[in-house]
Amino acid sequence: MTSTDKSTAASAADTSRHMALGLSEQNLKEMYHKLLLSRALDERTWMLQHQGKAPFVISCQGHEAAQVGSAYALRAGRDWLLPYYRDVGVVLTIGMTPRELMLASLARAADPSSGGRQMPGHFGHARLRIISGSSPVATQIPQACGVALASKIRHEDDVTVVYFGDGATSKGDFHEAMNFAGIHRLPVIFICENNGWAISVPQHKQMAIRDVADRAEGYGFPGVVVDGGDVLAVYQSTKQAAERARRGEGPTLIEAKVVRITPHSSDDDDRAYRDRAEVETWKVTKDPIIRFRKYLMDAGILTEEEDKRLHERVTSEVDDATDFAEKSPLPRPESALEHVFAE
């Protein structure tokens, strides 16, 4: 199949959608917990940054459904992940803990991603097969093709999933990777979290098409547009893409349309280039967590009381992670050059 399949989310009003996907009520509650946890951890790191304790924040807010829904469709510790800097929800869903993420945000020696050397948001975890990225945008995309090629050569059925933003698709790395993956029918899923902005550059100034997914057709495999604020829709698309990859049919490009609720990062002031009123409206109309909460309530899966308890649980998990990381030692200054030069 080479034509672009622009599937859109099924009606959000249908409260039995999860059953058709084979998801239990317990599965949905786990997904909701990861959505809440991603948001709460993110909000806490902004506070720590304002207090001068965390150097930098680059936020997942507005992207959480795309992240949790896609990662939930994968096999933790088996499939290979190359996340990008916003993917708090991806790595939490695959199994990183709030403590591990907070160790990275506060640059502590025990940070599993890099021992406190990388900027926050450069997630890495050997056991969970999360491969840490480099800061230059899009470099993880061809690297993912290398990982997927290795799985193919070894006849392993692991899928490689690589994440990036819409701006990354303007880089040569993206196009070279897509071309290579198409030719070799690699077991790779390209997930673009399209929030319509690359820092201050709107989508229409970096591509002359409406849907990034259209780009897949030129490389000989399907591109799918999905409502990235709908956790079930993203789960479904990713599951289908993973099954396709495991059958040996090759790559899929999934474009999850999301909103970026925060400025690009803690170093950015988005009031200079976009309408804050629109962003404030999204917090009511497009927040993926509010949307999934409504689904759960409408389906009779979540009560107000349970929701309150889940929020309390998440707050205590984030408190615990913050205390743990604050008490954890910083890297030794004399270790700064370790892993930099061959020893």
Ligand X SMILES: Cc1ncc(C[n+]2csc(CCOP(=O)(O)OP(=O)(O)O)c2C)c(N)n1
Nearer Cβ to ligand X, position 195 or 322? 195
Q: What does the block give as tokens for 67?
A: 């992240």
Beta bridge partners of 255: 192, 225
Q: What does the block give as tokens for 199?
A: 């820092």
Question: Which is the catalytic residue, given 17, 86, 125, 264?
Answer: 264
SS3 278: helix
Which single residue brings its beta carbon nearest to ligand X? 165
Nearer Cβ to ligand X, position 80 or 197? 197
SS3 280: helix
CB 140, min distance to ligand X, A: 11
Residues in the chain: 343
Nearer Cβ to ligand X, position 193 or 255? 193
CB 223, min distance to ligand X, A: 17
Residue 134, classified by CB atoms within 10 Å of its CB into exposed (0-12), middle (13-18) or buried (19+), is: exposed
DSSP secondary structure string for all residues of 186-197: -SEEEEEEE-SE
Question: Which is the catalytic residue, given 215, 244, 260, 295?
Answer: 260
Nearer Cβ to ligand X, position 110 or 199? 199
CB 166, min distance to ligand X, A: 4
Residue 99 annotated among the catalytic residues of the structure? no
State residue 165 phi and psi, 5-degree precision.
-95, 180
Nearer Cβ to ligand X, position 257 or 264? 264
CB 58, min distance to ligand X, A: 7
CB 248 within 8 A of CB 185: yes
CB 198, min distance to ligand X, A: 3
Residue 264 annotated among the catalytic residues of the structure? yes
Question: Which is the catalytic residue, given 273, 274, 293, 313?
Answer: 273
Nearer Cβ to ligand X, position 64 or 166? 166
SS3 5: strand
- For residues 264 and 324, give the distance between their C-alpha atoms in angstroms, rounded to a whole number: 28
Residue 273 annotated among the catalytic residues of the structure? yes
State residue 315 phi and psi, 5-degree precision.
-60, -40
Q: What does the block give as tokens for 290?
A: 């509010």
Where does this chain bind ligand X (CB under 6 A)? 86, 135-137, 164-168, 193, 195, 197-199, 264
Among 74, 78, 67, residue whose Cα is nearest residue 260: 67
The residues annotated as belonging to the active site are 260, 264, 273
